[in-house]
Amino acid sequence: MQKAGSDSKKVNGPLWVNAEITYKCPLHCVFCYNPVDYATFGPELTTDEWLKTFREARELGAVQLGLSGGEPLMRDDVEIMVAETSKMGYYVNLITSGIGLTEKRIAAFKEGGLGQIQLSFQDSTKELNDFLSSTRTFDLKSKVAKLIKEYEYPMVLNVVLHRLNIDHIEEILNMAEAMGAEHVELANSQYYAWAMENRKHLMPSRPQLERAEEITNRFRERVGNKMKVYFVVPDYYADRPKACMNGWATTFLNVAADGLALPCHEARMLPGLEFPNVRDHDVRWIWQESPGFSAYRGDDWMQEPCRSCSEKTKDFGGCRCQAFMLTGDATNADPVCDKSPHHHLVTEQVELARNRNRRQQRSRRSSYSATTRTRAISLPGISKSRHPGTAAHLLHDRFGDRRISFPGRDFRGRTR
């Protein structure tokens, strides 16, 4: 069923398939984009079900395949997926924390035709990296980074930025350079799923952001073409919304671990929409005919101010999921837009982040620095003599209410 004004014959794509092949992950990142209730979902697709899905999407014209999670390497059939989908003609990209990437596996991926490995770090320091992921993984990730270079993959480093690590931006960039990264993605946390749960702890202040951008620009000038650095600003600080997913169901097909097909990572939460499962339907029907994928194509669904806005073909009214999360109605304009009557919901958060930062600055009488082999971290407001412990303990102390949420852990770090 198509909505009026969106002719199914004109539906192209998808071009890009993101396969969340498992929600399992050994890390417990505070900004994880796994759904907060992922533990209640049905069983993962089998290898054959995944390959059938990839084949059907390829027949529709998909050219890029991201194998992600959770942590995709928690599955032992990734080598088969890489080899088979490369033969289908996909450019295949592995999006990983690095945990589980042994030399044997990377050799098999090379043999199978894997195009690119995107490795994530949480910070340039062992202490904060390990705190933010609630695991001791920094050293392991560093070894994996070397392995990726040894196997002559372009190094694509991803660091999610937020209030807790954004002041380390210079050290993060220097770490990327020392590792020989060709691409660095500094993506400020977007507030969905676990990042939404932890938004008040994660949102940077405007001065933090401005400083980070300035340092990034200076770094870009210094390294020139040697390294491509992407700096993604949190959209709460913009006055126009992002063109989420390049428009609803125009380009991007997300398939969740349990087989649910979605036009974006977060659409499962939207009320009133039913999304199909690749176990029950082929990708052609899902993409071209299913009501969920047709719901926000075109512009018939738009309300004012989007409906009459001259920029609606540029940003498509922003993000449907963010509009729903913040206003309760997915057909509203994304409140990031300053034309939205709900824009105050975003500016209030910006103001709160500014006040939190000011409060912190006022309480800065001393600083703590924990020296690692290569660099030091600075945790303002924490006295070294009072707190000789790990950064994890110190950061818990910074959160007065001690309510930061880790997927799979309670707020004290115990496994749930």
Q: Which residues are near ligand FES by CB under 6 A?
A: 244-245, 264-267, 319-321
CB of 233 to ligand FES, least distance (A): 16
Nearest to 248 by CA among 78, 6, 84, 4: 6
Instruction: Return the C-alpha torsion angle 366, 399, 158, 24, nearest 10.
Output: 150
8 Å CB contact between 195 and 31: yes
Q: Which amino acid is at 119?
A: L
Q: What is the C-alpha separation between 157 and 185, in angstroms, rounded?
A: 6
CB-nearer residue toward ligand FES: 54 or 293: 293
Q: Which residues contact 93 (CB under 8 A, 6 or more apart)?
A: 64, 65, 66, 67, 114, 115, 116, 117, 118
Q: Which amino acid is at 64?
A: Q
CB of 125 to ligand FES, least distance (A): 31
Q: For 22-71, give the DSSP string.
A: ----S---TT--S-TTGGGS-PPPPHHHHHHHHHHHHHTT--EEEEESS-
Cis before 276 (ω within 30): no
CB of 67 to ligand FES, least distance (A): 20
CB of 312 to ligand FES, least distance (A): 15
CB of 260 to ligand FES, least distance (A): 13
CB-nearer residue toward ligand FES: 147 or 323: 323
CB of 245 to ligand FES, least distance (A): 6
CB-nearer residue toward ligand FES: 126 or 162: 162
Q: What is the C-alpha separation between 382 and 366, in angstroms, rounded?
A: 6
Nearest to 292 by CA among 272, 321, 317: 272
Q: What angle do CA 90, 91, 94 make, to 5 degrees?
A: 115
CB of 337 to ligand FES, least distance (A): 13
CB-nearer residue toward ligand FES: 331 or 390: 331
CB-nearer residue toward ligand FES: 250 or 360: 250
CB-nearer residue toward ligand FES: 162 or 297: 297
CB-nearer residue toward ligand FES: 166 or 245: 245
Q: Which two tokens stand for residue 361?
A: 């600055």
CB-nearer residue toward ligand FES: 56 or 266: 266
Nearest to 10 by CA among 304, 350, 249: 249
CB of 318 to ligand FES, least distance (A): 8
